[in-house]
Amino acid sequence: MKNLKGLSGLLICIICLGTIGTGIHMWYRSSDRAEILRVSMQETVVEEASLNAFVHIPLSQETQDMIEFIMHRNYKIYPGMAEEIAIATVKASVEFNVPSNILLAIMDIESDYRYDAVSKATAVGLMQIHVATWLDSKNKINLMQAGIADSKKDLFDPDTNIRAGAYILQMYMKEGMRKKVANLVQYAATRYFGGTKNTYYAKLIAALGEYQIFNCTHIMQEAQVLTTSIRKQDSDNG
């Protein structure tokens, strides 16, 4: 029985990991449907975010999973900040039609979920936004023109920073679609990093895998608790 349980757990994780590429592909290849969903979902997310300031609203399972994963990856992140990051990630995912797990994986690589992270190359915040590039009014596409941020200070706000990262990724994914590249995520991730090597994409896939395995482990634990509870009820009734 132990071997069967181990095998079933392994199969669940393999299935979860296998959904990474397929899920990303489907996300962008069903853009018409996604756009319809985006409008209605965005309204709901904004309403819930506004109400959250006054009333406690139960978080979605996706948001709860993100909070737990963020704190698992960096134990120094306190629950309130982890929740703020997770909510902002889901919101930006809907607003810019970029998979939330991609945004989370980039934060994992770039900043270790530290909102105040600053690199030697003056990249700022959770998504490590390059200030010299994206806050330069001379550039045709910039964060000021997009109405996302006006200064470096703005990018230390988690919500603003994640929106900026999602916006940049969306631009690169659209660019990749116009060029008809085979792997949109690889193209966008490489452009986001600012190079041509595939090492960044490999790190991204690794981070995505960590998130999927973490969620699979939780699913298995919850299933075991549920099974134990059901067996106890059956025993009590019998």
Range of the domain at 25: 20-109+158-229
Let me know if residue 124 belongs to a domain: no
> Residue 138: what are its φ and ψ, rounded to 5°?
-75, -25
The most confident of the ranges 37-46, 71-80, 213-222 is: 71-80
Let me know if residue 140 belongs to a domain: no
Task: Give me the mean pLDDT over the 228-236 stretch.
Answer: 68
Cβ atoms of 150 and 164 within 8 Å: the answer is no
Q: 135-165: per-residue pLDDT in tens?
A: 988 887 899 999 999 999 999 999 999 999 9
233 vs 179, more confident: 179
pLDDT at 60 (0 to 100): 86
Q: 177-199: per-residue pLDDT in tens?
A: 999 999 999 999 999 988 666 78
Return the SS3 of 152.
Answer: coil
181 vs 31, more confident: 181
- The token pair at 161 is 């920073």
Give the pLDDT band (50/70/90) at residue 27: very low
pLDDT higher than 80, residue 16: no
The total number of structural domains in the chain stands at: 1
DSSP bridge pairs for 67: none
Let me know if residue 42 belongs to a domain: yes
In terms of Cβ atoms closer than 10 Å to its own Cβ (0-12, 13-18, 19+), residue 30 is exposed
Q: 47-93: per-residue pLDDT in tens?
A: 444 445 445 567 888 899 999 999 999 999 999 999 999 999 999 99
pLDDT at 215 (0 to 100): 81
pTM above 0.75, yes or no: no
pLDDT at 138 (0 to 100): 84
Let me know if residue 117 belongs to a domain: no
Let me know if residue 51 belongs to a domain: yes
> Residue 178: what are its φ and ψ, rounded to 5°?
-65, -35
Let me know if residue 89 belongs to a domain: yes
**Cα–Cα distance, 226 to 238 (Å, whole number):** 18
Helix (H) or strand (E) holding 51: helix 31-51
